[in-house]
Amino acid sequence: MPDFLSAALATPGLGWLILAISTAGIVRGFTGFGSALIFVPVAGQFLPPAEVILVISTTGIASTCALVPRAWGQAHRSEVALLAGAAILLAPFGIWAMTHLDELTVRWIVGVISAITLTALMTGWRYRGGIRPSGLAAIGATGGVVGGMTGLTGPVVILFYLASDRTAQIIRANTILFLAALDLGIIVTLFSSQLTDLTTIVIGAILAVPYFVTTMIGQALFRPGYEKTYRWAAYAVIAVAVLTGLPLFD
């Protein structure tokens, strides 16, 4: 067995990582978001930040294959292009920040961002004002920095969309396309920065299998009429992941 494969299979907590990514796939499939909010806090207990970011971005490619074909025809693609373009341009700054922070600090940042996102979603926060193109670019750029630093590629844009009056279908489709584009951008940046190795890619490939399967299951479960049920189920799962991922419980 190749050394990189043996090293990947010997990853501490691999069973927990598989459970976390499988749960994340179900949630991602029926809501279009939440996978990083579930996986990153758990993975941060076993992997260094750069590896967590690469693994969640790599496994995101699996969900892209499952979800993008349907989302492509439902999304506002010009809006997503502006958000994603700004995010990809600014993601390297987030990756740079991650390399200059210790692992414990990154885990606390992940916990705080996840908790704030979850609280805003659960309390039903809504923004009723209009958003100009410059505002969309700023939202995307912020999402790119946060995603590059923590692996949480979705919270900033998720908050923007769930605080809007868009339908669940459009929110889901736009979010899927945005996350797919940003995942690819982060993977390219990590490779060009030489912050990854083959073992991490193999871990991502291993986790991509259950993630793809459970994402398809989640997508099959999606029914627009049960939007509220889906969201509260996602909130509960995210809350558990955030709490278990806090350094307080090491």
Question: Is the confidence at residue 97, as pLDDT, over 80?
Answer: yes
HSE-up of 165 (CA within 13 Å, CB side)?
5
Q: How far is 160 from 219, CA to CA, in rounded Å?
A: 22
End-to-end CA distance of the chain: 33
Q: How far is 79 from 68, CA to CA, in rounded Å?
A: 16
Question: Is the confidence at residue 51, as pLDDT, over 70?
Answer: yes
Q: Please answer whether residues 131 and 79 qualify as being in contact, where contact means their C-beta atoms are separated by less than 8 angstroms.
A: no
What pLDDT does residue 1 have?
A: 59
What pLDDT does residue 125 have?
A: 64
Question: Is the confidence at residue 16, as pLDDT, over 90?
Answer: yes
Percentage of the chain exceeding pLDDT 90: 9
What pLDDT does residue 207 have?
A: 93
Q: How many residues does the chain have?
A: 250
Position 248 confidence tier, pLDDT thresholds 50, 70, 90:
low
Token couple for 16: 């927990």
Q: How far is 244 from 85, CA to CA, in rounded Å?
A: 33
Please state whether 104 falls in left (phi above 0), alpha (psi between -120 and 50) or beta.
Answer: alpha
Token couple for 157: 């844009």
Give the global pTM. Answer: 0.76
Question: Is the confidence at residue 25, as pLDDT, over 60?
Answer: yes
Question: Is the confidence at residue 250, as pLDDT, over 60?
Answer: no
